[in-house]
Amino acid sequence: MAKNYQDWLKQVTSPALPPVIAMGGEERAFVDEALAEIKKRVLNSGLVDFNLDILSAKSSSIEAILSAAKALPVMASHRLVLVTESESVKVDDLTTIEQTLKTPNPSTVLVFVFDQVDTRLKFQKLLDAQAVFYKFDHPKEREMLGLIKSRGKLRGLKIDDEAALSLFLEIGNSLLMLDRAFEKLELSSEGQPITTQQISEQVAQTAFQDAFVLARAVVLKDRVQVAKSLCELKKAQEIPLRLLGVLAWQFRVVLKARLMLDDRRSGSEIGSKLNLFGDRLDFVMRAARLLDTAGQIGRLKALLELDRALKSSRVPAWLNFDRAVLELV
């Protein structure tokens, strides 16, 4: 059974990493955080270029991937092989991979990253059985108060229960928005406990609302509002990759509602399952009915492509973001 974020936190305190790790899930902030921790722990000798291979399963053969995993580290104890787009691994290659899983190279940490996690699929099922598989879902709303306090502590921020609740009411359960809020609060806290007044001044009056307005406009295909929001967010110097997280979160909520509509669930059932009520439920139901399931999935796939472009392309981030968002409407 795939492990979760709490299991990953326990792994972080362990003295050694497993030789083969798989991960993925809806909460990209957790995935990115885990990858950063793995890189920090494995690539600690300074010879990063010699001991790091990043390969795409979509464009690299399984032979190339496993050859990199068998290589020895250069002037270091370990090397890291990071495989992206791992859902592209062919079923015909599973027998070869299974041999590596049985006798992994002890001086290599091999990491398979999936854009979508479904451990019923053959390759993911194999990794779940013979390696360590982490599935990072969005935190539940009831988990967010604890995450706000623990993640704030890591940044040196002092956040009591009242401040944590106030911050949660502003940003919901979006970790990307939480990190952005922390960046704002770090500038004003000066080592003192965070107050609800600071949150009101530093967080509520940022461009967060514009980010959610953009997400809603894209979901509802309101091209005029999308163009307006993009201008306001660029002026506020918001980071496209963070905005992408808000869009992806909103799209996933709408997709879940669409899937439940396909199962002939009522509006009240959908609201109860997704913890949505009132105007928020009305918006999600309206958005879910705009496109069928295939259309909703297609939009999420477009965001995955945008995520890759923002992380790897030399094209200015805002140019990529503008173009991709406008194509969605």
Q: What is the pLDDT of residues 79-98, one digit of tens each?
A: 999 999 999 999 999 999 99
Task: Give dist(CA 24, CA 197) in Å, integer.
Answer: 37
Reported confidence tier of residue 124, pLDDT bands at 50, 70, 90: very high
Using CA atoms, how far residue 252 sits from 20, 113, 207, 246, 315, in Å, is 29, 19, 22, 10, 27
Using CA atoms, how far residue 290 sits from 249, 257, 260, 295, 296, in Å, is 17, 12, 14, 9, 9
DSSP state of 3: B
Are 130 and 99 spatial neighbours (Cβ–Cβ below 8 Å)? no
Note the pLDDT of residue 275: 77
Q: What is the pLDDT of residues 317-328, one digit of tens each?
A: 899 999 999 999
Task: Give dist(CA 188, CA 84) in Å, integer.
Answer: 38
Which domains are delineated in the chain?
5-135 (3.40.50.300), 141-202 (1.10.8.60), 208-328 (1.20.272.10)
Higher-confidence position of 108 and 239: 108
Residue 314 tokens, joined: 């030399």
DSSP state of 293: H
Task: Give dist(CA 17, CA 79) in Å, integer.
Answer: 12
Note the pLDDT of residue 175: 83
CB atoms within 10 A of CB 284: 23
Residue 235 has pLDDT above 80, yes or no: no
Higher-confidence position of 293 and 241: 293
Note the pLDDT of residue 206: 54
Residue 284 has pLDDT above 70, yes or no: yes
